[in-house]
Each structure stands twice: as C-alpha cells, then as structure tokens.
Amino acid sequence: MKIVGIEHVGVAVNSINEKAAFWEYILKINRTATETVADQGVSTAIFDTGKGKIELLEAIDPNSPIAKYISKRGPGIHHICLEVEDITSAIKELKENDISLINETPTRGVEGYLIAFIHPRSTGGVLVELAQKQKPQ
C-alpha cells in the first residue's frame, strides 16, 4: 500500500467547547471544520496545521467508542490517521497479512473520507485509521 502522510491525530475530549481554545488560541492552529458523525456518536472539531490535522472528538452518545475510551483511560490521544492512496487495496493487503481490522470494508469518516480502522492488537497498542480522500464529484 502507499501511505501518503499523517492525515490527523484524533484526541478524545470531554468537551470541545472547553478544550478547543488550547489548539485554536494558544497554539494558533487554524480551525477548519466542525462536524458531527452520527453513526459513530461523535462531534468533531478539526484544526489544520497545513501538514496534518488535530481532530478533537467529543462523544454525543454514552455508548459511542469515544465515551467508552474516556471512561476507561481518560481524555487524551485516541488514534492516528494515515492517508492512503487506495483504501480498498490497503484493506486487501492487511487481510493477506492477517492484520486485525475493525472495518473490513471502507466506511465513511469525517470530511467525506473513506476510512477503516486497524485493531490495536495488530499494531502494538495503537489505534490506526487509514483514510482515502474522495475526489470531488
């Protein structure tokens, strides 16, 4: 597979309203998007450094993965997302190498990306998301 770069780092927060200020006003990183992904039970705020984004993740559903993560480990870095050229061929390669996937087919993430998560048991404890940017229609 061809990894293009670090697309973003996902950070689990209790409150985007309370935690956005550090990234936006102290570090002065441009806030470029705010989006709710209902089927993952999260609200997101995205800060773009120009070379990789910071994605704050707040649970909007007590059963969402982010709510469960925070109740177990507290707020903090949740995952790293790597951009790939072709998510379908990436998933195929990972399966051929017996890598455990959370999504065995691409699903829709923030900003319209096609995404799949790799299970931390195959990566050394790191939740890795792969994402393919969609071409504008």
Query: Would you say 57 and 11 are in contact if contact means Cβ atoms under 8 Å apart?
Result: yes
Work out whether 135 is an interface residue with a copy of itself (CB under 8 A).
no
Residue 137 CB, nearest approach to a copy of itself (Å): 25
Work out whether 97 is an interface residue with a copy of itself (CB under 8 A).
yes
SS3 32: strand
Work out whether 19 is an interface residue with a copy of itself (CB under 8 A).
yes
Report how many residues bind a copy of itself under the rule CB under 8 A.
Answer: 41
Instruction: Output the six-digit token pair for 49.
Output: 């450094």
Work out whether 74 is an interface residue with a copy of itself (CB under 8 A).
yes
Instruction: Output the six-digit token pair for 11.
Output: 């950070």
b/e map of 15-48 (b: 16 or more CB within 10 Å)? Answer: ebeebbeebbeeeebeeeeeeebeebbbbbbbbe
The footprint of a copy of itself (CB under 8 A) covers: 1-6, 9, 11, 13, 18-19, 22, 26-29, 49-52, 54, 73-77, 79-80, 82-83, 93-94, 97, 99, 120, 122-127
